[in-house]
Structure 1
Amino acid sequence: MNNQEIIQIPILPFNMVNAHLIKTDEGSILVDTGIPGSERKVERVLHKHGLTFKDIKLIVVTHAHTDHAGSAARIRELSGAPILAHQDDTDYYSRKVPMTYCTTSWVGRLFVKTPVPHEPYVGFAPDLLMKDAETISLKEFGVDGIVRHTAGHTPGSIGIELASQDAMVGDLIASGILIGGIAFNGHAIRPPFEDDPQTVARELERLVNSGAKRFHMGHGGPLEAAEVLRHAKVLAKLHPGNANGHSCGRLKPRLAAVGR
């Protein structure tokens, strides 16, 4: 497989919101698209690396929150690249159903009261729709890796596992003070919202046990495997629901299964 580079795209300062580009000799894959209006920030990073929107061969949206899916429709229009996502978040992507939020801390409880998590974006239908526990190879897009359903943050969360032992996990995990890289960027924390911590713990443990050594995420990071595993063990002791213990996620029973 050709040369491969993971490029972080800062959407907000201090690594508070990141998208990522997997750059190869055969083209590039954009992982997440930032908040609405982020296409120019993505374009600046592309130009810095000698690329244009037309070099994007695939857009992977890890889940339906506005800071990850907000510019997907516009970047698809600019690049012509298809969008890959999971069916269990499709009603959110289309804007048919409003997003639900299970808060994890006081930060999440304050954040969900602001307009930011609820910022509307242009709805879209994914061009490539993953179903159930389906795994998709990225080799036809020039990347040696797979996309896999990694539920727990939202019902349709997905992640990328690369042969380079890098994992791109969206919001399965975050790092730093609050979220991002202001300080303690190497310390794993829960994101402000999380449907089912035990399911997230199983997914993170599976990734580490499968050989992932570096974790790239939407808020903060990257993190090393040992820190991810420490965090997963903490999550495994928690219960589904928001910071007050009330269930608010929409995970289906099958998503909590350990086996894939």
Structure 2
Amino acid sequence: MVNAHLVEGDAGCVLVDAGLPGSAHRVGRALEALGRTWKDLELIVITHAHVDHAGDAAELRKRSGAPIVAHAAEREHLAGLAPMTYCPTGWFGRLFVKTPAIHERYLRVDPDILLSDGETLDLSRFGVRGAVRHTPGHTKGSISVELDSREALVGDLLASGVLLGGIVRAGHAIRPPFEEAPATAGAELERMVDAGIQTFHLGHGGPLNAREVLRHARVLRHLRPGAPIPQRFSPEAARAR
């Protein structure tokens, strides 16, 4: 139910999200299946600092030597300097935030490349045709990868399926369990559809086509953000176990 994506280019690979702690061996197997090695991993994109997207970032950088890119608004969470907050979108999110799973510790990591608001990173220097762009809404510092192939990898900007996604109805867009600014997320999704993105790859569930994403985006544009619920662990919990 947790997706990370390996994008293969002519001159290397880009990994989008790092999965839960202990996921590095899965990335290694994916590289091997493509006839690649750790040396072919040119960049690690962290869409946001939640444990299921950033949990093994430090280990992946250690194995590959690839730099990590994230948004500046996520740095203090990734580096263990401040706790994250969660804004539940419904009953599942309100229950999920009370479980240990979302608060699992992971090795602190300081990104090598930080994007600021409105800034993009050209991926051609890393062997892939596309760009990393700031796409707030799920969190303040959420980022996405938009490829020249008209595909986008959007992390938790939206989800699909039931609960955490990927079980049933994977082709039906839903809100993720947590979302800071739904109208902002909707605006970003609508912008991507207008820009020609046809396929959306998600952190949970999917992929989704542009028509379904646009339907969901128009619903989000009319929603107001909920009140954040602080996570229940200190900055020390993001440090090495």
* TM-score, L = length of structure 2: 0.93
Aligned to 1:41: 26
Aligned to 1:155: 140
Contact 2:88/2:228 (<8 A) preserved: no
| Gapped regions of structure 1 (runs ≥ 5) | 1-15, 250-260
Query: 3-state SS of the aligned residue for 1:17?
Result: coil
Aligned to 2:125: 140
1:209 counterpart = 2:191: no
1:56 counterpart = 2:4: no
Runs of 4+ deviating beyond 2 Å: 246-249
Show the 5 A alignment for 1:181-220: 181-220=166-205
Distance 2:98 2:43 in 1: 34
Query: 3-state SS of the aligned residue for 1:18?
Result: coil
Query: 3-state SS of the aligned residue for 2:86?
Result: coil
1:228 counterpart = 2:213: yes
Distance 1:215 1:179 in 2: 17
- Please, what is the CA RMSD of the aligned residues? 1.1
Show the 5 A alignment for 1:1-260: 16-241=1-226, 246-247=227-228
Structure having greater relative contact order (Cα 8 Å, sep ≥ 6): 2
Structure 1 letter corresponding to 2:24: E
Distance 2:66 2:38 in 1: 9
Pairwise CA distance, 1:247: 5.0
> Quick one: percent identity of the two aligned structures?
58
| Cα offsets for 1:45-74 (capped at 9, x unmatched) | 221222222210000000000000000000
Distance 2:79 2:3 in 1: 23
Aligned to 1:4: none
Aligned to 1:253: none
Aligned positions, number: 230
Aligned to 1:256: none
Contact 2:85/2:228 (<8 A) preserved: no
Pairwise CA distance, 1:179: 2.2
Pairwise CA distance, 1:248: 5.5
Pairwise CA distance, 1:180: 2.3
Query: 3-state SS of the aligned residue for 1:50?
Result: coil
| Cα offsets for 1:208-231 (capped at 9, x unmatched) | 001000000100010000000000
Query: 3-state SS of the aligned residue for 1:43?
Result: helix
Pairwise CA distance, 1:25: 2.4
Query: 3-state SS of the aligned residue for 1:136?
Result: strand
Contact 1:195/1:248 (<8 A) preserved: no
Aligned to 1:12: none
| Gapped regions of structure 2 (runs ≥ 5) | 231-241
Query: 3-state SS of the aligned residue for 2:3?
Result: strand
| Cα offsets for 1:145-181 (capped at 9, x unmatched) | 1111001111110011111000110000100111222
